[in-house]
Amino acid sequence: MVELIATSVDDPVARSLLTDYFRTRADTFPGNTYTTVFPASEVFEPPRGVFVIVTDDAGTAVGCGGVRAIDPGPLGPRFEVKHLYLAPATRGRGWGRMLLADLEHRAAAFGAAEVVLDTHHTLRPAARLYAAAGYAPIEAYNDNPNATVWLGKPLA
């Protein structure tokens, strides 16, 4: 059974998944200019946020993601989806959609009126996931050098 488990980003399993995520992004980023920034643990501690790992049927950690509070937006309290990652061998099973839905649910429980995220236009499978989940283009809300696309979704 696939499980979604809240943990600290400083947990060794979470840190290993984030390392894989950042390595994958750096290896495939156009121009090899990806900027890696490991998140501070306090931004993913309830009620400011949460970090989740995905374990597969064998209990192996295969993915991660988090939500964190950011400055309010036009709809009110806003949380940002960060570091959504699944190991390549696990993709196409619907686990990314399950993880994203779980993060949205957790953000709503913390009082978010909206979830937002930034991504890069070259991440086409991610773009399909976000579009299918109801995300739409919004104005840039940060200056992330790795991002070319900003998306949002109301939770109300």
pLDDT tens per residue, range 97-143: 999 999 999 999 999 999 999 999 888 899 999 999 999 999 999 99
Structure tokens at 91: 């993709």
Determine the Cα–Cα distance for residues 47 and 30; give it in Å rounded to an integer.
35
76: left (phi over 0), alpha (psi -120 to 50) or beta: left
**Eight-class DSSP state of 43:** G
Taking only the tens place, the pLDDT of each residue in 57-88 is 999 999 999 999 999 999 999 999 999 999 99
User: pTM to 2 decimals?
Assistant: 0.93
The pLDDT of residue 26 is 78
Task: For strands 49-55 and 3-7, give the pairing.
Answer: antiparallel
Coil/strand/helix, residue 17: helix
Domains and CATH numbers, the chain: 3-112 (3.40.630.30)
